[in-house]
Amino acid sequence: MPNSYQVNDDKRAVYDIEVDRPEAGLPATGFVFCCFNNNYKIEPGVFDCWMRILARLEGSVLWLLEDNTSAAENLKNEAMARGIGTERLIFAKRLPLPEHLARHKLADLFLDTLPCNAHTTASDALWSGLPMLTCLGETFAGRVGASLLKAIGLPELITTTLESYERMAIDLARDSQKLAAIRRELKRNRLTTPLFDTKLYTKHIEQAYEAMYERYQAGLSPDHIVVGN
């Protein structure tokens, strides 16, 4: 598939609700990093990176999804072992999808995981208007974030090493004007680029099905099929 493998629904609702940070359990001020991936995707290497980021940015917090209380406690213990107070890890309960999408606007930057990137969780963030920073991995699961960011016209948020990922996260947190410009670009691109163009994706997958069936009818063996833009 061109642009990205991932199909998205451009009719998903995002509640237009006014919720302030304290209502969501977040501090009223300070930079909010966010990762709503399932907890099993949080590997030690990227967690180390996150803790170094928090250490460099006074008042910043990391907003995570709470899969279960045991995972939350384990992550808090690992934060303490790295010199980060447990109050700087904040856990969000699961909510119905429209409400979950709406609360993304309370965060400042989504931090992707590695070696397994965010998939649907990444498109949730981008659809909600929250920029995502990713690190390009070596497998399909580790390259999804880059695919989505390219398809929405934000390749500048793709890094190739955890060192550059860490550095960019800190730079963006310190440069409010640059981050605001990225948010504006995301808002412009959301409905004008391929990632959330459901009709375009439908056209491409139908082309793929037709090409498969034509090969079958011609008695040809399965092969790679290139679908055009």
Give me the pLDDT at residue 206, please.
94
Q: Does the structure show a pLDDT above 70 at 57?
A: yes
Give me the pLDDT at residue 16, please.
76
Give me the pLDDT at residue 228, please.
76
- DSSP states of 165-197: HHHHHHHHHH-HHHHHHHHHHHHHHTTTSGGG-
Cα dihedral 105→169→176→29 (10° resolution): 60
Give me the pLDDT at residue 19, please.
77
Return d(Cα 179, Cα 171) in angstroms, integer.
9
Q: Does the structure show a pLDDT above 80 at 51?
A: yes
**Nearest Cα residue to 110 out of 214, 187, 209, 32:** 32
Judged by average pLDDT, the poorest of 9-23, 26-40, 132-146, 198-212 is: 9-23
- The β-bridge relationship of strands 61-65 and 89-92 is parallel
pLDDT tens-place string over residues 171-182: 999 999 999 999
Return d(Cα 118, Cα 134) in angstroms, integer.
9
**Nearest Cα residue to 109 out of 89, 133, 127, 92:** 133
164 Cα distance to chain centroid? 17
Mean pLDDT of 186-202: 94
Mean pLDDT of 181-194: 96
Look up the pTM and report it.
0.92
- Token look-up 């412009």 returns 188
Instruction: Read off the pLDDT band of 229 (50, 70, 90).
Output: low
- DSSP β-bridge partners for residue 34: 63, 110
Q: Does the structure show a pLDDT above 80 at 15?
A: no
Domains of the chain and CATH, by start: 22-196 (3.40.50.2000), 198-229 (no CATH)
- DSSP β-bridge partners for residue 33: 62, 109
The rounded mean pLDDT for the chain is 94
